[in-house]
Each structure stands twice: as structure tokens, then as C-alpha cells.
Structure 1
């Protein structure tokens, strides 16, 4: 299970300062394809060496020529977004997505470069060639499939998070009707809430550019709750200030989270070679057990997929 972390307002400020202090170009992970530092434990993320794997030359040959020539796979992700991604005290990317992309890169015989890319600009970043793939718990939807292909790597629902003690007595989605609820910009969560049947008092969905802003809005009372991926909700409730800030709303109608969806590695639809290469690499990681090790280390075992599939996302 996830390791607890103590997050204070000051610690969040440090994390934010790391995020905006020049890591945008890359995390240095091309030179550190395996092995976390002991400092990772202070973030509540895994300590010790990351799972590693061996390159498969047959899979390397599947990569687009430009990636084979550069020897680098560029992955975009948003920080902080634990347990998916965070930065340790050395400004190194840690968490599920960084660990998985480093393992995928190893399997493909290249190095991983991790680049800060806000979720709301993921697709423009891919289209501009700044990144090759986006990994950040991106929900696989038919609308996004018009532009992207997804190598699905997680499956789970969404959950509502309120302040500790759940002062509004929230339970089901109906309880959010007429209230301010925070979500990340351009997320599926916002679409779900806006489409929820509330009669004459719809949910007042308030979008924020980053997840840190979403959490701050609830702590500051600008929203009564936020909605996020179930695995992120549970992690935040357990780890923020040792579990004393947030509380996951336990919906009796959807104990595992509502509207379960696939999340995946987002790749431009026309990059068919890269899609094929990553699907094959993920399948090998699944079969050899490296994928499960990475899930277990990051407290995400309940959200595993059984095999590497493409575009399983359906209309919500």
C-alpha cells in the first residue's frame, strides 16, 4: 500500500517552487533510468531502486526512426500529481508514471526524458513535437481518440474529496448539485459533473489550471469539494498532513468510484509505429512482472490492467 507522507503548506510551496524553477526542459532522467533516492520517502513515494528490465532489440526496431536515432523517448507529465508523479528533493521525477516510462524506455533500448507539461496543454505539446507521449492519468475517451491513441495502463473510477470531517455531509453525486466543486481544467471530471442531472440546480463546476490549485480552492473554502481519479483521491486523503486535511466521500452507490474508465499513455494517432512499440513494451512488462512491481510500489495495485490494449475508452 501507499506510504504515508506529511504534507504541510510549506512543503507544498517547496514542491511548487521545484515545479516552476526550471525543470521544464527535462528532469535529468535520461541519465538515471533506474533507481530512486532515499529522499523519496519524504514525499511519501517509494524508496530504494526502481524495478528495471532488459532491452528487447526487436521492440527497439518498432520505434520510429527519429526516436531510434536520438535514443530518447520524451514523456510529458504534470507535477505534482501524486501518486502518478512528483518531484523529490533532488528535483527528480518520481512516482508511477516516471517509473513506468523509465521501464518502458529500458525495454525499448532508449532513455527517458521527462518534461513538465500541464495536463491542459498535453495535446498541443504532442502536436508541437515537444513530447512524444503524455502520461498523467489521462482518461481514454472517444473524443480524445479523434486525436490520440491510448495504450491503456490503468482502470478505475473517480471520487469526490471534501475537507476532513466532510462538513457538508456529502455522499452521492446528487449532493454536489448547486455547490461549487473544483476540478482540473480540461478534465473528464468536469464533463461528468456538468452532465449530471441536477434539475434546476446544476453543479457549479470551477476549473483550475493545476491540481495544486484545485486542492487549494477547497482548503480556502472556494469550493466544497473536488473530484479526481480514485487512486489520487485515496492517496491525497491518506497522506496530506498525515490524513488530517482531506476525506474521501464514500458513495454507497459507487464504493469503487463512479464512472470507471481506462487511463492510458497518450500518443498522437498518426504515430502508429510508436503506438505499436509502446503496446508491445508494456505487454512485456506485464508478462515479466515489472508492471505489477511498479503498481505495488506506488499503491496502485487495485487499478491494474490484465493486458496492454489500445483505445478501450468508451463514451461516459
Structure 2
């Protein structure tokens, strides 16, 4: 599904017209911040839930003492994460994060973080978990444990009219494909068996740059999660700028993978708390409602499992 991956394609941050400046949401970390701003709760028509004291008791003492869970999220990455007109974080990841905070009865701080630095931010102690459409891969499992929250495939975005006739993955051979750096897709595209006409991979600092390269004619295609590609195709120039390559043999996208919440492997108490809180949200239907709000219900998981990406 949504993500940055390890099978043939990785989805990375998708840009949009919502590129606003600003960083984390209300809340911040630490007791003072939590006391000053109060919980980062759902507002307006967002889905809400109720706290479960039994789940709160699973949180590590240092998280309870701090008063918040610090969450690394790469924004914008619509529909996973973006800003509304009030510069509030919305989309699947921020809205699910606030629900997890409600269920665990603790504040959450949504901290804007470039995708290539989300894992280092955990290792440096600046964030506790990652919620940024990250693919669950064996390589990342060397550092992280994933509580998987989506499952789906990837798509190819091309200019409107598909002038180069790209209809399958193999049609990318001999083409230039723009991608965001620090994601796995560049390596995987280069590894495709294309004989004497390999894929030319253009790695750019951000996903917005990669999308802009396609729009400017500097690349022939752009690879993204199916749901993200659909979003960009539908919203850019009122749906007139791009087409999504639709392979009838892969109607849900190419090479489905799991994506999830990344937590350092050593943080076993936090992993357990997040996993059980997500399962509670699945059981009560709030998780599915957040998926539906963001038009990604086709990528739901049935239960909150960990590290399902090991064998994909």
C-alpha cells in the first residue's frame, strides 16, 4: 500500500499543492508542553475514541513521565499526511496518531521530519515512533519493529495521454524514472532485468521534486504507492496532468507490501502498547473509519500484526 517500499517499487512522499511551511502539531514533548497545550485531540469531523486505562498501563514509564509520544512524520505525503488551511496536520497518519493517543490517554506530538531522517530521529531520541507511510521491509527490520497498518501495491504515474506507452513494469526499461532519495525504489528500479536498456533512475531530494520532474518532462514516469498515485492524478490540474498506469493483472497495484508504524526494536513495551492500541481501534471500527475518511479503505489490514514484511 502506501509507503516507501522494498519490493519492485517503493512509494515515497507525494507532493501536492498543499506545500505549506510549519512543523509539528500542537502538543510538543515533555511535561511542560503537554500541560501547556493539552492533548492533541481530534477536532471537527475527525474520528474520536475513548481511553482504555489497561492500555495506558502498557506504556513505558519514561513515556508516561514525558507526557507525550513524539511521532516522526514526513509532510506533505497526501493522503497519508498533509496540512489543512489552518496548518493542522491531517490525513491518515496524523488522524490515526491522534486516535492512538486518545486510546492510550496520552498526548501525541506530530513532528515534521524529512523521510530520510525519520529513523535517525528515533536513534537520536528525538522521536519515539514513525508514522510516515513506511514500508515494512527486512532491511528496516534490522533496526525497527513495524506494527503494520496497511497492505497494498504500487503504481506508475505518467504524463496525461501516456505518450511513451507505458503499460507494465517492464515498459520502464529504457525510460527515465524520477524518485525520492533515501527510499528503496531507486535501487530496485536499477536492479530490474532490462538487458541492454536499463531504467535511468533520477533520485531527487524530495518527492515533490520527483513529481515536478515528471511534470516538467525531465522524467518519463514516476513510481508511487497506488493510493498516492491516484490522489496525485486526481488532484493535479483538476486531473488533467497525469495518468495512472493500470495493469489489468494487478488491479490493486504492483507488488503489494505492508506498511506500518516503525518503533526501535529495543522499545518492546512501546511496541506492545501501540500494537494493542491499534488492535482496539480495529476492533471498534475507528481504524476503518479513518481509512474511509482518507479514501484508502482498500488497503486495510484485518488485525494489528508486527513485521509482516519479512517474507514479501
Q: TM-score, normalised by structure 1?
A: 0.87
CA deviation profile, 1:75-98 (whole Å, cap 9, x unmatched): 111111100000112111000000
**Which residue pairs with 2:7 in the alignment?**
none
CA deviation profile, 1:170-227 (whole Å, cap 9, x unmatched): 1111111111101121223223312211112111111122211111111111111110
Find the partner of 1:28 among 26, 29, 36: 26
Across the aligned residues of Structure 1 and Structure 2, the Cα RMSD in angstroms comes to 1.5
Give the match's secondary structure for 1:223: coil
Q: Which moved more, 1:143-152 or 1:116-125?
A: 116-125
**Which residue pairs with 2:115 in the alignment?**
119
Q: CA deviation at 1:239?
A: 1.6
1:252-271 superposed matches below 5 A: 252-271=248-267
Task: Return the alpha-carbon distance in structure 2 between the equivalents of residues 311 and 140 of structure 1.
Answer: 7
Q: CA deviation at 1:29?
A: 5.3
**Which residue pairs with 1:69 in the alignment?**
65
Give the match's secondary structure for 1:53: coil
Q: Is the 8 A contact 1:158 1:189 kept in 2?
A: no
C-alpha distance 290-79 of structure 1, shift in aligned 2 (>3 A):
same
Q: CA deviation at 1:270?
A: 0.8
Q: Comparing both structures, which one devotes a greater share of its residues to helix?
A: 1
**Which residue pairs with 1:309 in the alignment?**
305
Structure 2 unaligned spans of 5+:
1-15, 29-37
CA deviation profile, 1:254-297 (whole Å, cap 9, x unmatched): 22211110000011111111110000000000000000000000
Task: Return the alpha-carbon distance in structure 2 between the equivalents of residues 27 and 127 of structure 1.
Answer: 21
Q: TM-score, normalised by structure 2?
A: 0.88
Find the partner of 2:53 among 53, 57, 63: 57
Whether 2:219 is the aligned partner of 1:219: answer no
Task: Return the alpha-carbon distance in structure 1 between the equivalents of residues 94 and 311 of structure 2.
Answer: 28
**Which residue pairs with 1:168 in the alignment?**
164
Number of equivalent positions:
288
CA deviation profile, 1:97-132 (whole Å, cap 9, x unmatched): 000000001111101110011111111111111111
**Which residue pairs with 1:85 in the alignment?**
81
Q: Is the 8 A contact 2:67 2:106 kept in 1?
A: yes
Task: Return the alpha-carbon distance in structure 1 between the equivalents of residues 27 and 197 of structure 2.
Answer: 48
Q: Is the 8 A contact 1:77 1:117 kept in 2?
A: yes
**Which residue pairs with 2:182 in the alignment?**
186
**Which residue pairs with 1:141 in the alignment?**
137
Q: CA deviation at 1:304?
A: 0.2
Find the partner of 1:289 among 280, 285, 290: 285
Task: Return the alpha-carbon distance in structure 2 between the equivalents of residues 141 and 85 of structure 1.
Answer: 21
Structure 1 unaligned spans of 5+:
1-10, 37-47
Q: CA deviation at 1:315?
A: 5.0
Give the match's secondary structure for 2:287: helix
Q: CA deviation at 1:253?
A: 3.2
C-alpha distance 167-32 of structure 1, shift in aligned 2 (>3 A):
farther
Give the match's secondary structure for 1:67: helix
